């Protein structure tokens, strides 16, 4: 039985392990931390003992590989589909974004037409630009803002429509992204299929989703799970004997195939010195990060009736209402994607601004008491989808025998998301299967 070692227990590594374990490989999963899920994970809040997500994660209906993984390991039931999205402006007005029972792409036409925060002219212009965007060749990737301006988009349409959708979906601003992934978001997420835009929110902390349930699945398929095991270097003296993984504790493990499923800012450090300068790998060094900040707030009473709100023209972009998590403790999480402007702003000031925003939006907040707050910033939350970014994203199969890459940053055709991570894991597993002469298609079809 061939041994495959997956380094990294984020969604990419987990997907690769789940794909290969039932296919006759002895799979070992090494994770440097004491928990699975990587960036999509939770921690125990020291103040309350509650398990909270570092940041709320959601998927969309178009995330077919992520949902396939969830189905496979039995956690899909823990995702709650949101068929209506609520968009709110600082004046408190809310537009409901809901599909009509018409075929795509007409299903969302009426919802866009009813958006209170755009003028009729903006909406017509958006319809025109969307049609032009979809007609662009899939790989053209000019700077998006220039492209939008060339296609007659007003600043209001850019800020309140394109910016609102893309900053959350790509974790980057309209000023910095390229057309390619913007097009991908609108095409795959809104236009292609009626169910694509449905947002799925986990009903349990991510630790439960990927930790408890997945752990059980891996036990049943004999995956050897090694947590708190960090790899410091991978080396290969002789191709025939496979790979040596040098671990943080000074020991070494050998393996025939190794899938490095660590983030883009870690992977080069693990490679043998002679590969770091190889253009195949060196391009990874050109990827740049984009941060996400999440503000966690516990109130002494219910302050919001809606399950979530997408904020327009605000500092916060999404408010997630996690309900009463302990007696008399109502928990909200406010997410700020592409949080570069918050760099250098203290946690107290960020909290103050978010609390002010919520106080203006929701009358119930004025009477409520803030019990606790917490600010979490992930500085390297995702890679930045700048124009031409795909030149820096390597495929999962490398030119080096027995060495594979997985991770949301690898060439998946997707932005840095849980879907991208799972796709990369499946693609890495496909590459391993090809290498042993048993090719199989693991990546799931789009909606
Ligand atoms: C704040 C935040 C919010 C997000 N929101 C969303 C969202 O709503 N929806 C969405 O789809 N995506 C979201 N994302 C993106 C999503 O989390 C990532 O794209 C995805 O989880 C990446 O998975 P990965 O396996 O590629 O990498 P990671 O999750 O980073 O996994 C890599 C793993 O490798 C381990 N590791 C690193 N070095 C070593 C080593 N030397 N030895 C052993 N193990 C090692 C790490 O500990 C980690 O567990 C968000 C990300 C962040 C940070």
How does pLDDT run across 296-321, given as a tens digit for each residue? 999 999 999 999 999 999 999 999 99
Percent over 90 (pLDDT), the chain: 95
Instruction: Give yes or no for a contact between 57 and 333, defined as CB atoms under 8 angstroms apart.
Output: no
Choose which residue among 262, 385, 396, 428 to substitute to test ligand 1 binding: the one with the highest number of ligand atoms within 8 A of its C-beta.
262
Measured CA to CA, the distance from residue 88 to residue 387 in angstroms comes to 30
CB of 10 closer than 6 A to ligand 1?
yes
C-beta neighbour count of 385 within 10 angstroms: 28
pLDDT at 333 exceeding the cut of 90: yes
Distance CA 210, CA 225 (A): 13
- Per-residue pLDDT band for 120 (boundaries 50, 70, 90) equals very high
Angle between helices 418-435 and 64-73 (to 10 degrees): 80
Based on its alpha-carbon atoms, the radius of gyration of the chain, rounded to whole angstroms, reads 22
- Report d(CA 99, CA 83) in Å as an integer: 8
Atom of ligand 1 nearest to the CA of 409: 26
Residue 240 has pLDDT above 70, yes or no: no
d(CA 382, ligand 1 centre) in Å: 8
Give 315-375 as a DSSP string. S--EEEEEEEEETTEEEEEEEESS-GGGTT--HHHHHHHHHHHHHHH-HHHHHS-EEEEEE
Mean pLDDT of the region 83-92: 97
Quick check: CB of 342 below 6 Å from ligand 1?
no
pLDDT of residue 136: 96
Our answer on whether the CB atom of 33 is closer than 6 Å to any ligand 1 atom is yes
C-alpha of residue 394 to centroid of ligand 1, in Å: 17
Per-residue pLDDT at 373: 96
39 CA distance to ligand 1 middle (Å): 3
Find the 288 Cα to ligand 1 centroid distance in Å: 15
Mutate to test the pocket of ligand 1, among 57, 230, 292 (most ligand atoms within 8 A of CB): 57
pLDDT band at residue 239 using 50, 70 and 90 as cut-offs? low
pLDDT tens digits, residue range 139-154? 999 999 999 999 999 9
Residue 292 Cβ inside 6 Å of ligand 1? The answer reads yes
38 lines ligand 1 (CB under 6 A): yes
pLDDT mean over 391-416: 98
Tell me, letter by letter, the H, E, C secondary structure of the chain: CCEEEEECCEHHHHHHHHHHHHHCCEEEEEECCCCCECCCCEEECCCCCCEEECCCCCEECCCHHHHHHHHHHCCHHHEEEECEEEEECCCCCEEEEECCCCCCCHHHHHHHHCCCCCCHHHHHHHHHHHHHHHHCCCCCCCEHHHHHHHCCCCHHHHHHHHHHHHHHHHCCCCCCCEHHHHHHHHHHHHHCCCCCCCEEEECCCHHHHHHHHHHHHHHHCCCEEEECCCEEEEECCCHHHCEEEEECCCCEEEECEEEECCCHHHHHHHCCHHHHCCHHHHHHHHCCEEEEEEEEEEECCCCCCCCEEEECCCCCCEEEEEEEEECCEEEEEEEECCCHHHCCCCHHHHHHHHHHHHHHHCHHHHHCCEEEEEEEEEEEEEECCCCCHHHHCCCCECCCCCEEECCCCCCCCCCCCHHHHHHHHHHHHHHHHHHCCCCCCCCCCCC
Structure tokens at 308: 């979530």
Residue found by looking up tokens 């966690």 in the block: 296
C-alpha 340 – ligand 1 centre gap (Å): 19
Ligand 1 close to Cβ of residue 9 (< 6 A): yes
Which H/E stretch holds residue 292? Answer: strand 289-299
In CATH terms, 100-191 corresponds, of 1.10.3110, 2.30.130, 3.10.100, 1.10.287, to 1.10.3110
Q: According to the model, what pLDDT value does residue 421 have?
A: 98
Band of the pLDDT at 8, cuts 50, 70, 90? very high
pLDDT band at 241 (very low <50, low <70, confident <90, very high): confident
Q: For residue range 52-69, what is the model confidence (pLDDT) as tens digits?
A: 999 999 999 999 999 999
Its CATH architecture, for the domain 3-42+204-286+393-435, is 3-Layer(bba) Sandwich (3.50)
Phi/psi for 101 (5° steps) reads -80, 45
242-264 burial: b if 16+ Cβ within 10 Å, else e: bbbbebeeeeebebbbbbbbbbb
Q: What ligand 1 atom has the least distance to the C-alpha of 266?
A: 38
Q: Which atom of ligand 1 is nearest to the CA of 63?
A: 11
Does 263 contact ligand 1 (Cβ within 6 A)?
yes
Q: How confident is the model at residue 238 (pLDDT cuts 50, 70, 90)?
A: confident
Which stretch of 236-245, 282-291, 298-307, 327-336 has the lowest confidence by average pLDDT?
236-245
Q: Which residues pair with 257 in a beta bridge?
A: 4
Q: Is the CB of 256 under 6 A from ligand 1?
A: no
pLDDT at residue number 212: 82
Output the average pLDDT for the chain.
Answer: 96
Q: Which residue minimizes the CA distance to atom 6 of ligand 1?
A: 57
Fold of 289-383: Polyamine Oxidase; Chain A, domain 2 (3.90.660)
Ligand 1 centroid–CA 327 distance in Å is: 32
- Start-to-end CA distance of the chain, whole Å, equals 35
**Alpha-carbon torsion angle 205, 211, 216, 220, nearest 10:** 140
Query: What residue spans define the domains of the chain?
Result: 3-42+204-286+393-435, 100-191, 289-383
């Amino acid at each position: 039985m061939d041994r495959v070692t997956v380094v990294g227990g984020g969604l990419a590594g987990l997907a690769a392990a789940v794909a290969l374990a039932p296919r006759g490989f002895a799979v070992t999963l090494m994770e440097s931390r004491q928990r699975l899920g990587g960036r999509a994970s939770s921690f125990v809040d020291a103040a309350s003992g509650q398990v909270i997500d570092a940041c709320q994660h959601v998927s969309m209906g178009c995330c077919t590989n992520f949902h396939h993984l969830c189905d496979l390991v039995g956690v899909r039931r823990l995702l709650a589909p949101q068929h209506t999205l609520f968009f709110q402006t600082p004046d408190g007005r809310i537009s409901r974004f809901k599909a009509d029972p018409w075929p795509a792409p007409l299903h969302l036409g009426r919802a866009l037409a009813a958006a209170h925060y755009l003028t009729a002219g903006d909406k017509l212009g958006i319809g025109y630009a969307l049609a032009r965007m979809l007609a662009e060749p899939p790989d053209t990737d000019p700077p998006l803002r220039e492209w939008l301006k060339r296609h007659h988009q007003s600043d209001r349409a850019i800020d309140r429509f394109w910016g609102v959708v893309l900053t959350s979906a790509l974790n980057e601003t309209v000023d910095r992204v390229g057309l390619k992934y913007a097009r991908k978001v609108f095409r795959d997420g809104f236009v292609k299929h009626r169910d694509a835009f449905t947002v799925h929110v986990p009903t349990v902390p991510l630790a439960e989703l990927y930790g408890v349930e997945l752990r059980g699945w891996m036990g049943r398929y004999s995956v050897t799970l090694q947590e708190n095991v960090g790899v410091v270097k991978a080396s290969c003296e002789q191709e025939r004997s496979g790979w040596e993984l040098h671990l943080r504790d000074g020991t070494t493990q050998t393996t025939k195939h190794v899938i490095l499923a660590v983030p883009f800012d870690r992977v080069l450090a693990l490679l043998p010195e002679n590969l770091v300068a190889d253009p195949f790998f060196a391009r990874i060094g050109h990827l740049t990060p984009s941060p996400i900040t999440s503000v966690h707030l516990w109130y002494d009473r219910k302050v919001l009736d809606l399950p979530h709100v997408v904020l327009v023209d605000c500092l916060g972009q999404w408010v997630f209402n996690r309900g009463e998590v302990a007696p008399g403790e109502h928990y909200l999480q406010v997410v700020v994607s592409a949080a570069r402007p918050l760099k250098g702003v203290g946690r107290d000031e960020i909290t103050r601004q978010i609390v002010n925003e919520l106080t203006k939006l929701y009358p119930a907040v004025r009477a409520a008491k803030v019990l606790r707050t917490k600010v979490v910033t992930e500085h390297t939350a995702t890679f930045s989808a700048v124009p031409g970014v795909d030149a820096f994203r390597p495929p999962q199969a490398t030119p080096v025998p027995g060495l594979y890459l997985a991770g949301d940053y690898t060439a998946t055709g997707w932005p840095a998301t849980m879907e991208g991570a799972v796709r990369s894991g499946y693609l890495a597993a496909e590459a391993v299967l090809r290498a042993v002469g048993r090719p199989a298609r693991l990546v799931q079809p789009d909606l």
